[in-house]
Chain A
Amino acid sequence: MTLQQGVFDGFAVLTLGSALLVVTQRQILHCALWLIATLGAIAGFYVLLGADFLAAAQVLLYIGGVMVIMLFVIMLSHVPLVPQESVKNAQWLPALLACGLTVIGFGWTIGRVSWYGQELPIATNRGEIFEPTTASLGQLLLTELALPFELVSLVLVAALVGAVFFTRRPES
């Protein structure tokens, strides 16, 4: 087992274990903290895949942004920290069945398809020679992906305006 495989296995256990805790913990605050662990492990996967900019963006945007908003909302809504009733709804058994079938179906497909077919270029040894991705990502975003880039900025403005609109108190 190489070092890379060992690190991968560690990140996989961390991701899946903390993701399981996210959906099963009773206290919603604990769920949020475990979700931070999951997102951090995903950032580790990005580092393993040579995506340095994305790993940084994951930590800054998800852990630093989205999760802080989520913790804010958890603390602003005064729900009891330990819920008295069950955290699962009545349909959890069919839901578990559906998820199991989805995972098995996709897993079967993943195992069946040969991903390095003739129509797809065979991976080069980029994994061994690391090169920073920030410059080429920036070039891509400002040339070929310029239109989606601008559209996303419009979406962000709409989201900000919508958030302010939904949370303002009615004048009385």
Chain B
Amino acid sequence: MVPLTHYLAVSIVLFGIGLFGVLARRNVLGVLMSIELMFNAANLNLVAFNHFLSPYRLWGQAFTIFVVTLAAAEAVVGLALVLAIYRHMQTVNLDRFNLLKG
């Protein structure tokens, strides 16, 4: 059986990749995708802990369902904002979103 630490290792590397994407991508859509990667890393953690530490009470999995739902809501609102900004500025590059800069 695969031990818990293997899942945690995959999860933390996935989280690191997502964090790098959030910090370093220029395209706002790329940043949103990297946020999804980080959500999934956290979800993998929750399910793995649930499976290994309290296998008969599924609180970790239920929490993951909430996270997935909120991620979907976040994606919908975020993408609507991206579309609205795109209509105004004709770009999706984050370093061009400087309308509020003095």
Contacts and interface: CB of A to CB of B under 8 A. Distances in A.
Interface of A: 2, 4-5, 8, 12, 15-16, 19-20, 22-23, 28, 31-32, 35, 38-39, 42, 45-46, 48-51, 53-54, 57-58, 61-62, 65-66, 69-70, 72-74, 76-77, 79, 83, 85-92, 94-96, 98-100, 102-103, 106-107, 110-111, 115-116, 120-121, 123-124, 126-128, 133, 136-137, 140-141, 145, 148, 152, 155-156, 158-160, 162-164, 166-167
Give me the 8 closest cross-chain CB pairs, A-B, nearest first: A95-B23, A23-B21, A159-B73, A103-B16, A126-B55, A92-B24, A163-B80, A166-B80
A165 to B, nearest CB: 8
Interface of B: 1-2, 4-10, 12-21, 23-27, 29-30, 32-34, 36-37, 40, 43-44, 47-48, 50-56, 58-59, 61-62, 64-66, 68-77, 79-84, 86, 91-92, 94-95
Contacts of B56: 124, 126
A61 B72 contact: yes
Nearest to A115: B4
A96 B24 contact: yes
A68 B102 CA distance: 37
Interface majority SS (helix, strand, loop, mixed), chain B: helix
A102 B18 CA distance: 12
B51 A127 contact: yes
Nearest to A136: B58
B6 A8 contact: yes
A103 B13 contact: yes
A98 B13 contact: no
Given A50-B51, A54-B65, A126-B56, 12 more contacts: A4-B2, A38-B14, A39-B40, A58-B68, A70-B79, A88-B25, A89-B94, A89-B95, A102-B19, A123-B55, A155-B70, A166-B80
